[in-house]
Amino acid sequence: MTVEKRILDPKFELADSDTIAAYQLKTLLEILQKTWSTNEFYRAKWQEAGADLSKIKSLADFSERIPTVEKKDFVEDALANPPFGKRLAHGLSLKERSDIYTTSGTSGQGVEVHAQTATELRAMERLYGFLFHWAGLEPGDQTFLTLPITMLGGGRIEYQGAIGFGLNVYPVGNYDANRKLELLNRFRPKALYGSTSYFSHLAAVADRSPPCPSIKVLLTGLEGAGYSYFSRLENQWQAKVADRFGCTQLRTDFMFTCEHGIGVAGRPGMLHSLDPFVLLEVIDPQSGKPVKDGEFGEIVVTSLYHFDNPVVRCRIRDGGVFRKASYCACGRPFGGVEIGTIGRTDDVKKVKGVNIYPQAVDDLMYSFGEVDEYQILLTTSKTNADIAAIKVMPKAGLPAAGYDDFVARLKKDIHKKTGIHFDVELVADLPRSEYKARRWLDQRDR
């Protein structure tokens, strides 16, 4: 199969890795200097860690000498200097628009506050250009944004990225699924843009297949999903998946699939990090050292375009399997993460003494055409052992005669993949997610 190459910015996409690295280092040093002189929050962290900026001559120096920051640091700063913290003081002192985002969660103490200026937003729009261009979209194309626009980053940032690129965005996030389907079939857009599992939900609610034939592109994201789930979405909608990854701490998406999309079952596609704009590190959460190609690690991000609201070595507690640029056939000089491997680093479950990655289970589950939705339930036996069970809602129309065979195959394959035995129960109904799916229930005694 030949794949049409979609290059948006030849200067970066056709460069070699050394050129990109040199550009990163130069930009990084400017960011560090400016941050030192304008941002009390970061300066204090760096002073505390004894970091000396004048000693940083390489990207490796940077990773070794500059400490990471994370959610708890942001929350502490905001509580000590409400409501924005010292971290956001400089950006907000400029007389230009800033967009303010909060993270979700119940009100008050645990909520992070992030911001970016209008200048930073304009720079961010360049990043989204890669997503849309690689996905085969053009300015003027009609796109349904299924996320509501609120104080959360997710939704508002997507909206800004899309209008910055010039898409016709229909903000339908406030409408229920049936109303969305009605509007879809009235206005017949080319792309759907929202969170991965919501598209599956929409397809389940629709009374025809594909739910809207005009849809050619599914802009998935906001949550991890296994390869099989993406593949199933493509079948449900008869459209190509273009996946994205980002985080509120960076206030953008910054890793995208290229024109190779989700790839094929044995060799999934790759989320390409936009290296000229974001310095990506994938580290072993224990040692802090970079992981090797093909290994799972935690994602640490440094923005190379936020000069007034800097993001420097932020641990985001999401991880994935690191891949060098050479992994993808597209030839771009950007590293990244294999699709279908993204998950919270604290989501790895120890069951019967074995580490299990939820995405691996998800991938297996959706490789069975019989599975509509599933839920994993972990409990404790009387003898204090772990019990692992899977509740499966089979697809409507699956003949009851095939149940036993399906359950037997599922049990066998999941044991092969994880090394442990799961009970399997078929159930008539399971909850559907409207936003991010939560499929693991851990009810074990502790």
Whole-angstrom Cα distance, residue 334 to residue 316? 20
The pair of three-digit structure tokens given for residue 84, joined into one six-digit string: 């924005």
Among 16, 48, 186, 416, interactor with its own copies by CB under 8 A: 186
Nearer to its own copies, 186 or 416 (CB): 186
Cis preceding-peptide flag for 399 (omega within 30 of 0): no
**Three-state DSSP class for residue 406:** helix
The pair of three-digit structure tokens given for residue 272, joined into one six-digit string: 């390409």
Whole-angstrom Cα distance, residue 63 to residue 74? 20
The pair of three-digit structure tokens given for residue 397, joined into one six-digit string: 């129309």
Residue 10 near its own copies by CB under 8 A: no
Query: 184 with 170: CB under 8 angstroms?
Result: no
Among 149, 360, 377, 387, interactor with its own copies by CB under 8 A: 149
Stretch that binds its own copies, among 14-22, 151-159, 281-289, 429-437 (CB under 8 A): 151-159
CA distance between the termini of the chain: 52
Whole-angstrom Cα distance, residue 313 to residue 156? 24
Whole-angstrom Cα distance, residue 60 to residue 290? 10
Task: State the SS3 of 233-283.
Answer: HHHHHCCEEEEEEEECCCCEEEEECCCCCCEECCEECEEEECCCCEEEEEE
Site for its own copies in 73-92 (CB under 8 A): 82-83, 92
Minimum CB–partner distance for residue 141 and its own copies (Å): 9
Query: 285 with 298: CB under 8 angstroms?
Result: yes
Nearer to its own copies, 138 or 442 (CB): 138
- Beta strand 314-323 with 296-303 is antiparallel
Minimum CB–partner distance for residue 193 and its own copies (Å): 14
The pair of three-digit structure tokens given for residue 301, joined into one six-digit string: 């991000």
Residue 11 near its own copies by CB under 8 A: no
Nearer to its own copies, 202 or 339 (CB): 202
Residue 118 near its own copies by CB under 8 A: yes
Closest CA to 310 of 52, 46, 127, 61: 46
Site for its own copies in 20-79 (CB under 8 A): none
Minimum CB–partner distance for residue 10 and its own copies (Å): 21
Residue 210 near its own copies by CB under 8 A: no
Stretch that binds its own copies, among 7-15, 133-141, 387-395, 438-446 (CB under 8 A): 133-141
Nearer to its own copies, 81 or 345 (CB): 81
Residue 339 near its own copies by CB under 8 A: no
Residue 124 near its own copies by CB under 8 A: no
Whole-angstrom Cα distance, residue 152 to residue 103? 6
Residue 167 near its own copies by CB under 8 A: yes
Nearer to its own copies, 116 or 228 (CB): 116
Whole-angstrom Cα distance, residue 70 to residue 317? 9
Among 23, 36, 175, 440, interactor with its own copies by CB under 8 A: 175
- Report the sign of the C-alpha dihedral through residues 148, 153, 154, 157, in that order: positive
Give the total of residues touching its own copies (CB under 8 A). 37
Minimum CB–partner distance for residue 415 and its own copies (Å): 45
Query: 338 with 327: CB under 8 angstroms?
Result: yes
Residue 139 near its own copies by CB under 8 A: yes
Minimum CB–partner distance for residue 145 and its own copies (Å): 10
Among 26, 188, 208, 350, interactor with its own copies by CB under 8 A: 188
The Cα angle at residue 136 between residues 130 and 139, in degrees rounded to 5: 75
Among 67, 136, 148, 210, interactor with its own copies by CB under 8 A: 148
Residue 207 near its own copies by CB under 8 A: no
Nearer to its own copies, 151 or 426 (CB): 151
Q: Which residues bind its own copies (CB under 8 A)?
A: 82-83, 92, 94-100, 107, 118, 138-140, 148-151, 156, 159, 163, 166-172, 174-175, 179, 182-183, 186-188
